[in-house]
Amino acid sequence: MQKKMILKLILLILSPLLLFGIYVVGVLIYGTFNDWKPEEKTTISIDTKHDANEKNITSTDSSFTLLIWNVGYGGLGAEADFFYDGGQMVRSTKENVGKYVNGISEFLKSNTDIDFALLQEVDVHSKRSYYTNEYDVFSNAFNSYSSSIALNFKVPFVPIKYFDPIGHVESGVATYSKYTPKNATRYQFPGEFDWPTRLFNLDRCFLVSSYVLPNGKELQIINTHNSAYDNGSMKQQEMDYLKKYLLAEYEKGNYIIVGGDWNQCAPGFKWDKFAKTPETDYSQISIKADFMPSGWTWAYDGDIATNRKLTEKYDASKTFTTVIDFYLLSPNLKVEEVKGIHLDFQNSDHQPVKMKCSLK
C-alpha cells in the first residue's frame, strides 16, 4: 500500500513536467517544419487598389518630403510595457490596440503632404494586434498613394511567454508613396540567431522602391528595420550587406535614400543625451563615423527622441529615450530639413521623423 502511494505521488509530481516537456518538443517540431525561409531577393507587388493613380516623377520634381515611423504594431503606446525590455506585458488590451492604431492612422491622414512614408512593424495578421490588418488601415489613410509591404516577421506560433504566448505573427515594413515605383524589391539581410531562437524571431530585410527620374536614373527609397536584442554581430552583418548594395547602386548614378529603425545610433549622436539619471541600465550601439565614404549624409534630429524603452509605462520624467530612427542619403542628394515629431509616445514606442531633401 505504501509503495502504491509513493508511486502515485511520483506520478502526480511528474505529470505536469511530462506534459510541459511534450508541449515544448511539439512546439519545436512545429516551428522547425514551418520555419519561413525567404529568398535573398524577392519582387514585391505594388498595391494601387486604394485609388492610387499612376504618377511618375517629372522634371519639376526636384525636392521630396519623407516620413519614417516604427508604429510598434499598434500595440506599444504610452500605457504599454514589454517583457523583452524588462516589463511584464505580452500584448496590450484590445481597446488600447484599437486606440493606438486609430491614433497612428489619424496622424498619417494629417500628413498626406509628404511624398514617401516608410513605416516599420506594420502588422497584417497577428494575434498581438488582434488580427487587425494595419497595412490596409494605413493604406486607407493614404488613399491616393501606391504602397508595398515586405514581411520580416512571419511565424505561425511564437510560444513566448509559455503561459501567455505571442502566438501567430505576420508583420513587415511598408512604404507608401505619391509616386508609382517601377518595381519594389525585398532584400533579405544575412545573419540569424541560433536554433531554436531563430524559429520564432524576425527575418530582417530592407524594401527598395525604385522610381524613374527624368534623367533616366533611379530614385531608390529604401525602408529598413535592423536587428534588435543581439550583441551587435548581426547588426554588423546587416550593415555590411546594405553598404555593398548602396555603393553598387550609387556607382550606377542612382539617387538613394535609406530610412527607418536602425536599432542603433547614427554616427556622432551621443546615445545617453536624453538620460534622466546619471546611471542607466541601457546603452546603444553606434554606427562608426567612417562607415560610409565621404559625401554620404546621415540625417537626424538630435533634439527629439525617437524611441523609448519599455520597462514600464511611459513616464516623461524617467523613461530612457534615444534616437535610433534616421536617414542616410547618397552624395547626389541634399538634406534641406530634418525634424523629429514629439507625440509623447502616445501610440507607439517610436516617434516619427520628417525630412525634406532635394536632388543636386
Question: Does one domain contain both 132 and 274?
Answer: yes
Q: Is the same domain home to 218 and 311?
A: yes
Higher pLDDT, 102 or 194: 102
Instruction: Provide the β-strand partners of residue 350.
Output: 307
Please tell me whether residues 138 and 28 are part of one structural domain.
Answer: no
Domain shared by 184 and 271, yes or no = yes
Which three cell numbers, joined as nine digits, stand for 244? Answer: 555593398
Q: Reply yes or no: is the peptide bond before residue 161 cis, omega within 30 of 0.
A: yes
User: Mutual orientation of helices 94-109 and 134-141 as an angle, nearest 10°?
Assistant: 30
Grid cell 497577428 is found at 126
Enter the DSSP assignment of 268.
Answer: T
Mean per-residue pLDDT over the chain, rounded: 89
**Which residues are within 8 A (CB) of 270 and not within 5 positions of it... i.e. 6 or more apart?**
none
21 and 156 together in one domain: no
Whole-structure pTM value: 0.92
Query: For residues 82 and 76, is the Cβ–Cβ distance under 8 A?
Result: yes
Pick the closest to residue 72 from 324, 338, 317, 328 (CA basis).
Answer: 324
Bridge-based pairing of strands 353-359 and 333-340 is antiparallel
Question: Does residue 11 have a pLDDT over 60?
Answer: no
Q: β-strands 307-308, 146-158: how paired?
A: unpaired
CATH number of 103's domain = 3.60.10.10
Does residue 158 or residue 65 have the better pLDDT?
65
Q: What share of the chain is helix, strand, coil (3-state, %, to 5)?
A: 25, 30, 45
Whether residues 113 and 203 share a domain: the answer is: yes
AA identity, residue 68: I
Among 51-60, 65-74, 266-275, which is the least confidently predicted range?
A: 51-60
State which residues form the domain around 25: 1-33
The model's confidence at residue 222, banded by pLDDT at 50, 70 and 90, is very high
Q: Residues 67, 68, 70, 73: what is their CA dihedral angle, to the nearest 10 degrees? A: 40
Residues 200 and 81 in one domain: yes
Q: Give per-residue pLDDT as tens, 173-190.
A: 999 999 999 999 999 999
Do 9 and 97 lie in a common domain?
Answer: no
247 and 346 together in one domain: yes
- Residues 6 or more apart in contact with residue 147 via CB below 8 angstroms: 46, 47, 50, 52, 135, 139, 174, 175, 176, 177
Same domain, residue pair 5 and 126: no
* 155 SS3 class: strand
Q: What is the number of domains present in the chain?
A: 2
pLDDT of 304 > 90? The answer is yes
Do residues 13 and 95 share a domain? no
Q: Tell whether the model's pLDDT for residue 49 goes beyond 70.
A: no
Residues 189 and 313 placed together within one structural domain of the fold = yes
